[in-house]
Amino acid sequence: MSFALQAFMDQLVDYAGLFPPASLDMTSAVRGYAGHQAQAESWMLGRFIVPADRLGEMAAEAEKYLSASERWGVSVLMGHREDSEQSLALLKDQCASIIRFEKLMDPNASVDVLEIPLPAKLIPAEIPGFLTEYFDGLKNFGVLGKELFLEISPNAPQEHELPILEAVSALAKSRSGAGRAVLRLGAKLRCGGVTADAFPSVDRISRILAYCRDLGLALKCTAGLHHPVRHQATDPVVLMHGFLNVFGAGLLAHAHGWSAEELSRVIEDTDPSSFVFESDHFSWRGHVVPLDTMRVLRTQFLCGFGSCSFDEPRDDLLSLGLL
């Protein structure tokens, strides 16, 4: 295994076993995460993803596995997918759940990341007001210093994509950082789901990568990226995106300033041999990103993806001879 693959995959896969298509119960999901922590490939494993209202349930199960030498990072799903008022109304109770969890689990587990959907009913001009209220709520209810990723609605029209990300970027510059309610503010992109219509187009992923690069926004992904390389899936019947494609394109976007049109060639590539990992670089069809650059970009801008399976990404990398 190369140093470049280690840099590319380091803590890339957040564990979302509670969510479809796996839809595990809490006992099975926590047991699975603990098992993955003990495996040789645990360095690829990121945080455990859990809804805010299930943190107590998670704590009861996690106590069976955690020891003084371990620390689990947790990413908490908050908010409401459709309605901003509902999202704000839920905030007090969700923050209380986070505080209870961290007190109970200290020092063995902590909430590092918050993930909320930008409510689908919001137009871009309404986003600053909503997020200002949300940040104030986090501070007032005692939840400070977390990373926050805002999911762009899968139904957001193309003409709203850039204004949405511009609004998020402006707030990231003014309302995030040490000592603030939000340590880092980034965007979140849904890359698939359990039905074919949940998978965004190659062009949409390419645009979002280019926009985030131009705006200096961190990006994390979720759903639909169980496998390394874009391929034809049968359930659902769709060309499923690959995590080597998406994050490889992200690296090239930052390292070489590629346009969305150029990035789309990487996103749509179905040939595993196009993606090469050497001791000192990653390359796609001869276009190189040096190892040190990869490490910086992964840390600052390309923050991983949620997957309901850790076995599938690991086993596919093994079958490709990369691990």
Tens of pLDDT, residues 201-227: 999 999 999 999 999 999 999 999 999
Q: Rounded CA gap, 301 and 74, in Å? A: 19
Q: Name the residue among 233, 310, 317, 312 with its Cα closest to residue 17.
A: 310
Chain centroid to CA 4: 20
Question: What's the pTM value of the predicted model, to 2 decimals?
Answer: 0.96
CB-facing half-sphere around the CA of 88: CA atoms within 13 A: 14
CATH domain 3-319 topology: TIM Barrel (3.20.20)
Contact 249, 267 (CB under 8 A): yes
Tokens standing for 79? 């908010």
The overall average pLDDT reported for the chain is: 95
**For residue 44, what are the contacts with CB-CB under 8 A and spacing of at least 6?**
9, 10, 11, 12, 13, 310, 313, 314
Per-residue confidence (pLDDT) for residue 262, from 0 to 100: 98
The pLDDT-based confidence of 283 (bands split at 50, 70, 90) is: very high
The arithmetic mean of pLDDT across residues 266-277, rounded, is 98
The arithmetic mean of pLDDT across residues 252-278, rounded, is 98
Per-residue confidence (pLDDT) for residue 297, from 0 to 100: 98
Chain centroid to CA 30: 19
Handedness of CA 226, 231, 236, 241 (dihedral sign): positive
Q: Residue 247 burial (CB < 10 Å; 0-12/13-18/19+)?
A: buried
Contact 129, 169 (CB under 8 A): no
The pLDDT-based confidence of 181 (bands split at 50, 70, 90) is: confident
